[in-house]
Amino acid sequence: MQKFFYPRRVAVVGVSEDPANLAQGIVANLLHFQYQGKIFLVGRRPGATFGLPIFPGLADLPEKVDLAAILAPARVVPALVRECGQLGISRVVVESAGFSELNEAGRTLEEEVRVALKQYGMRLVGPNGLGLVNLEIGLALPFAQIGSRVHRGRISIIAQSGGVATHVLAWMTKEGLGLNKFLSLGNKLDVAENEVLEYLLEDPGTEAIYVYLEGMQDGRGLLKVANRATKPIYLHLANVGPETAAIAQSHTASLTTDERVLEAACRQSRLIRVKTQSEFLNAARLVGQPPLRGNRVVVFSRSGGEAVVTAYACRQFGFTLPPLSETLVQSIQARSRAGVIRPTNPIDLGDVFDFTLYTDIMAAVCRDPGVDGVLFHYGPVADFEREPARKMARRMLELAREAKKPLVITVLCTLDEENYLRDTLGAPVFHFPEDAVQALALSRDLAARRESLSLAEPPPLQKLQKAAAIAETLAGPHPGGFLPLAQALTVIEALGITVAPWAAAMSPEAATAAAGRLGFPVVLKLSAPSLIHKTEAGGVELDLRDAAAVQQAFARLARVARSRLPPREAWQVVVMSQVAGGQELLLGARRDDSFGPVVAFGAGGVDTEILDDIALRVAPLNPAQARDLMAETRIGRILAGARGRPPADLDSLSQALAALSQLMLQFPQVREVDLNPVRGFPGKPGLVALDARIRADGPA
Amino acid sequence: MQKFFYPRRVAVVGVSEDPANLAQGIVANLLHFQYQGKIFLVGRRPGATFGLPIFPGLADLPEKVDLAAILAPARVVPALVRECGQLGISRVVVESAGFSELNEAGRTLEEEVRVALKQYGMRLVGPNGLGLVNLEIGLALPFAQIGSRVHRGRISIIAQSGGVATHVLAWMTKEGLGLNKFLSLGNKLDVAENEVLEYLLEDPGTEAIYVYLEGMQDGRGLLKVANRATKPIYLHLANVGPETAAIAQSHTASLTTDERVLEAACRQSRLIRVKTQSEFLNAARLVGQPPLRGNRVVVFSRSGGEAVVTAYACRQFGFTLPPLSETLVQSIQARSRAGVIRPTNPIDLGDVFDFTLYTDIMAAVCRDPGVDGVLFHYGPVADFEREPARKMARRMLELAREAKKPLVITVLCTLDEENYLRDTLGAPVFHFPEDAVQALALSRDLAARRESLSLAEPPPLQKLQKAAAIAETLAGPHPGGFLPLAQALTVIEALGITVAPWAAAMSPEAATAAAGRLGFPVVLKLSAPSLIHKTEAGGVELDLRDAAAVQQAFARLARVARSRLPPREAWQVVVMSQVAGGQELLLGARRDDSFGPVVAFGAGGVDTEILDDIALRVAPLNPAQARDLMAETRIGRILAGARGRPPADLDSLSQALAALSQLMLQFPQVREVDLNPVRGFPGKPGLVALDARIRADGPA
């Protein structure tokens, strides 16, 4: 990537004298940002623009360039790329559209380009993007204006949409935040987000990274890169939502929409998920500030009302406002005009006009080990207060920096004062308290995850003991799709997870005999590949207390099979001991398109969707992590023994989840596992799985 | 209120020539906003300021004034108010601080003022506030600057914090939104929010009202006023949160924090709750636009990325993006440059440079009965596009107005263009898609509630049939606080709610005999005023299957009573039939400080807090409204018969909730009722209450 961001000679390909020529925009940007290298123009017709000659071909350039930025019709791009290869230009940026995003012909063009890249050992950014920017050297390759007032700063951007990146950049500029590097991914024909991210994490000029994606090529790779990060990475993935989950085929799948996987992945990594552009812009104002290493903040304000509003926002984001130390209380009381109200946190300084008290409070708060950060609402400043107010702000920021605690300021004052606070003093300045609090919350969450992730051992990957048996069962005669129930239960038992005693039965007589062996009452379950929701289809017969009941139930299931299943579809009946009591749980796993194997735990039973109490974690997970996963759900807290009751067997449950994780890792043909219900019993050891669905690819 | 907002002669009391004199700020504001009436100044020392003479007393004024604005030390305010009374000045605005907000002496001063108001039939705004503003006549009484560029508009503000109001006003001004009237409530010694709101709802100059409160004197009154409103009322109540619920004494109370009551009250009324100042500012931009009468929006954008971001925000706020009509699809395809991608909703117009297509799309969307509103992302405009773009925007807004559908525009362009769109064309302009979508969601929710509230019958207030019996039981010998269990169960049965068969027993023998009559198995419960959580205290004995078990259980409960209760506290034991199966529910009611009686329904049992599945409604509620309440919970949806299972007896449950509502209305001494658990049985009629707690004031 270094060669992309630091070229010394750049060729802009596709330039003409025509005023509507888009490639001129690239030249204009390079000139505007005073690119420190040399610029060469290439176009079909010789001529000149911006006082630079247009050469007819890359081969005609007087010097060898390091990078070619191409904005020419898609159909000529493969030839241009090959030419670059022949001339030893190893880095190419293609901004032209008309490739795979458009049609099949465009896809073929990309294929041609890919072949050329491989043949010449070249790398390519794009196509169908805005190229890249490096303001360290004034390199600005977008053909569109990126804002004339964009200036060099500490934040870098990786984006899959030029429009979103431009919007964010415009706002960063408005808020006084500068850009370091920017790369527009376009169609990601070659260079994709993980590689760029890895580079920017090492890049000395970059202190924080905004990543806007609409699709993710390798979510697990992203997690790996992110978890080495010592800089904040703000991940904005907008193209998530219920739509993409519509294809889901079973409980686990339909409850674990992509958005939930994304949330889980970020929570267990150093990625900071932002859901909107403004959330990133809020967070960006804290870049360069000390991280918030805890949950306790002090709010102080010249307006009592704003103090209340800020305190409310703090509670919304999970902050606590600790009481003030006795010394501080007395010092405020002694020096306020009225002098009789006992100050609380939030501190209302409405009747305090002595700014040295503000800095005294700040000093005391910074010293207090019980306070992690400070929010200060800086009200309207009268003309005669301006100089003392500026002095106060400067001192407060010094105190915060010395104490390594973040100080954020919400302001309502003139633009001049705001600019002074932000640009001259380097204070993070917000207009609304809720924005300031949101930014602090993101800082706190990242700091907390850095802490917990650095403490966490890598999960011990305990290989499955009965892997051979599982492989054999999975390889059994099935066409791909859902395994017959008996096969699925066999796999689950091989994972070391207890299943209620069961037997497959192909006739009423076999079912009756099995029920006799297992002991009454029993349940009968119909299993067939196309029968996903057994209960609703009438495929489950409960509470069968004698042989006659079993026979009748078998007959009913056979009728269901005949009437509901496609002709010739194989079906089977499983007889199972009926288990009473306990809590109904769901344990599951599936393979997410972006993040790979994901494990799920939560409230099970037929009402799983309504209960909406499922937590996810990207695999692998060890039993300790499985316990954390369980604790994220309401049912998990109930199982842990709420209100003085004995806990359920959390060991067995966490081992079962770790085993599911391992199944997904060792057997890539398994697409999805869904154990619902599993029963856990408060105060009793063990667990019992009562049903299992496994979807797997058939043997190749 | 008319006399407050439209005085023809105003006296400003407390003015001096001292440059630090605060009352001069009032005069400055009146002059700045060109007050259309006459201004007279009153101060202890004669003199002049702003070219106006300072009279030594109100009695010395050459003309009788309609309103006195007082900013003088608190201690002299009572005398000044009396003087106003004697002079026939019936409206007084007091901006001085130092009253009940400060100390006991201040409270006494307020009492003196109150006496004077009564004596002379006067009305007062304040004290400890910013007074009021009416830009219709240039009346601006705040002593502090409210922003020199504030201009006359359609939005009025009622606020309990001058700081918050000033902040909001500054932002309204920045966003081109004008102010009509403003009243600062201060300590609400006399004039409070409901009266002002009632006035503003009738005020022709006011089209929308922002109400910022930190405490509510009469929430039920507010609901009544609000429900006659045809203008949007944005209620911002910041001083809510878990703290205020810390005093709660039982399940129902602790789960129904004030914030939840507020949410419930707004949901069942025409109040629009905003949680932040910026949420109000987003909503305010839609004042004067047609309401959003449905949930289906079309998004179109010049940037594909922004379209994706906007679509995501739409989903977050519960909008659907319906597919485009075939005609529209074909028209877009025919005219886009590439012409081959099938346009979807959101519509990406990245390769369309013909602005007539934009207006054609808008026209088609406005005609489409399947679309309720439109979001348009208006990207950077190149110089040569400016005029056509403006023309397009004008035409789009016309189309939207004709179709009575809201069109909101998110912009990323120069400030000039933004101002043109907003100020010249009157378009609602937003910077970020999520803000626009939030504003649309508030509009939609208000429109939907107006619809449902106008359709809703007033709940029939069925008087309790056994009111006399209930009154007698409540009047029974108890000192106030929690009723003994037997008394509580008697009240519940008198409400027509089934309780599991039970009997009080004062001895092991009586308990055994009762168990024999009720039939085994039974449970025994210990009841005593100080025993709130029986289960955790060991006060519940379950699953007693014979007489011996009952006797032993009684003995254990007696030991618990001796060891856990304060000496001499009365206790009793209740024997109850043990009921199996069904779902554990909570039915409850309590009296909220702001909104009065509130009814609660949700998941019950010992894990109520963890399950966190309770919905609230301000009483009264009829059975139909009770059904809506139940449907707000997960357990309610399960009881309604999810996934093809038969429903529980929702009639009995809704009647029980309506009866609890009626109990609270007819018996003001009842503070709180908590039935937990009540069991409801899917597929079976009836319900059974297994426990009841009632807290009531003792007989006076």
Q: What is the DSSP string of A258-277?
A: HHHHHHHHHHTSSEEE-SSH
Specify the higher pLDDT residue, B402 or B456. Answer: B402
3-state secondary structure of A480: coil
Structure confidence at residue B304 (pLDDT): 80
In the predicted model, what is the mean pLDDT of residues B410-432? 84
Which residue among A161, A308, A341 places its CB closest to the CB of B239?
Answer: A308
β-bridge partners, A140:
A133
Position B121, amino acid: G
Least confident of A256-265, A576-585, B331-340: B331-340
Spelled out in words, what is the top-level CATH class assigned to the domain B501-578?
alpha beta
pLDDT tens profile A203-257: 999 999 999 998 787 888 999 999 889 999 999 988 776 543 332 333 333 333 4
pLDDT over 70 (residue B10)? yes
Chain B neighbors of A98, CB-CB under 8 A = 338
The answer for B 362-381 residues in CB contact with A (under 8 A) is 379-380
Residue of A nearest to B534 (CA): A643
In the predicted model, what is the mean pLDDT of residues A587-606? 92
Note whether A634 contacts B611, CB cutoff 8 Å. Answer: yes
pLDDT tens profile A335-352: 766 554 567 888 887 767
β-bridge partners, B577:
B522
State whether CATH 3.30.420.40 applies to domain B457-500+582-700. Answer: no
Structure confidence at residue A458 (pLDDT): 62
As a whole-number percent, the residues of chain A with pLDDT over 70 amount to: 93
Q: Which segments of chain B belong to CATH 3.30.1490.20?
A: 501-578
pLDDT over 50 (residue B257)? no
Q: May I ask the CATH architecture of the domain B1-145?
A: 3-Layer(aba) Sandwich (3.40)
Cβ atoms within 10 Å of A582's Cβ, excluding its own: 19
Per the CB < 8 A criterion, the answer to whether A44 and A16 are in contact is yes
Chain A neighbors of B309, CB-CB under 8 A = 164, 238, 276-277
Q: Which segments of chain A belong to CATH 3.40.50.261?
A: 146-284, 297-455
**Rounded Cα gap, residues B423 and B554, in angstroms:** 79
The answer for B 210-229 residues in CB contact with A (under 8 A) is 212, 214
Which residues neighbour B222 within 8 Å (Cβ) at sequence distance 6 or greater? B193, B194, B197, B216, B235, B271
The 3-state DSSP composition of chain A as helix, strand, coil percent (nearest 5) reads 40, 20, 40
Query: Which of A102, A175, A312 to mutate against chain B (most B CBs within 10 Å)?
Result: A312
Note whether B313 contacts A276, CB cutoff 8 Å. Answer: yes
Structure confidence at residue B662 (pLDDT): 94
- For the domain made up of B149-284, give the CATH fold: Rossmann fold (3.40.50)
How many CA atoms lie less than 13 Å away from B96 in the CB half-sphere?
A: 28
Note whether A610 contacts B412, CB cutoff 8 Å. Answer: no
Residue of B nearest to A411 (CA): B167
β-bridge partners, B132:
B183
pLDDT tens profile A623-662: 889 999 999 999 999 999 877 788 999 999 999 999 999 9
Number of H helices and number of E strands within chain A?
24, 30
Specify the higher pLDDT residue, A2 or A463. Answer: A2
Chain A neighbors of B170, CB-CB under 8 A = 412
Q: Which segments of chain A belong to CATH 3.40.50.720?
A: 1-142
Closest-CA distance of chain A to residue B61, Å: 32
The answer for B 594-633 residues in CB contact with A (under 8 A) is 606-607, 610-612
**Rounded Cα gap, residues B156 and B153, in angstroms:** 8
**Rounded Cα gap, residues A620 and A220, in angstroms:** 11
State whether CATH 3.40.50.720 applies to domain A1-142. Answer: yes
Q: What are phi and psi of A424, to 5 degrees?
A: -85, -45
The answer for A 312-341 residues in CB contact with B (under 8 A) is 312-313, 315-316, 338, 340-341
pLDDT over 80 (residue B243)? no
**Rounded Cα gap, residues B549 and B543, in angstroms:** 9
Helices (H), A519-649: 547-564, 608-611, 623-631, 634-639
Residue of A nearest to B165 (CA): A305
Q: Which segments of chain B belong to CATH 3.40.50.261?
A: 149-284, 297-455
Note whether B606 contacts A642, CB cutoff 8 Å. Answer: yes
Chain B neighbors of A145, CB-CB under 8 A = 380
Chain B neighbors of A633, CB-CB under 8 A = none
Q: How far is CA B445 from CA A111, B226, B283, B435, in A?
A: 50, 15, 12, 15
Residue of A nearest to B611 (CA): A634
Residue of A nearest to B102 (CA): A341
**Rounded Cα gap, residues A161 and B334, in angstroms:** 25
Burial class (CB in 10 A: 0-12, 13-18, 19+), A34: exposed
DSSP A96: -
Cβ contacts from A onto B, under 8 A: 168
Q: Tell me whether A463 touches chain B (CB under 8 Å).
A: no
Confidence at A381, pLDDT banded by 50, 70, 90:
low
In the predicted model, what is the mean pLDDT of residues B41-46? 94
Q: Tell me whether B170 touches chain A (CB under 8 Å).
A: yes
Chain A neighbors of B352, CB-CB under 8 A = none
Q: Tell me whether B412 touches chain A (CB under 8 Å).
A: yes
Pick the CATH number of A297-455 from 3.30.160.270, 3.40.1640.10, 3.50.50.60, 3.40.50.261: 3.40.50.261
**Rounded Cα gap, residues B36 and B239, in angstroms:** 37
ipTM value for the complex: 0.88
pLDDT over 60 (residue B245)? no
Q: How far is CA B63 from CA B7, B9, B59, B89, B92, in A?
A: 13, 8, 9, 11, 16
Locate B411 and state its tokens: 């912009």
Per the CB < 8 A criterion, the answer to whether A327 and A361 are in contact is no
Note whether A431 contacts B171, CB cutoff 8 Å. Answer: yes
Structure confidence at residue B249 (pLDDT): 33
Helix (H) or strand (E) holding B609, with range, is helix B608-611
Which residues in A215-339 belong to E strands, given as ranges? Answer: 233-237, 271-273, 297-301
pLDDT tens profile B155-186: 999 999 888 898 899 889 988 899 999 999 99
**Rounded Cα gap, residues A270 and A317, in angstroms:** 19
Which residue among A434, A606, A607 places its CB closest to the CB of B276?
Answer: A434
**Rounded Cα gap, residues B71 and B67, in angstroms:** 13
As a whole-number percent, the residues of chain A with pLDDT over 90 amount to: 62
Confidence at B283, pLDDT banded by 50, 70, 90:
very high
> What is the CATH code for A146-284?
3.40.50.261
Specify the higher pLDDT residue, A333 or A376. Answer: A376
Confidence at B575, pLDDT banded by 50, 70, 90:
very high
In the predicted model, what is the mean pLDDT of residues A414-441? 89
Position A472, amino acid: E
Q: Which segments of chain B belong to CATH 3.40.50.720?
A: 1-145
Note whether B161 contacts A238, CB cutoff 8 Å. Answer: no
Q: Tell me whether A240 touches chain B (CB under 8 Å).
A: yes
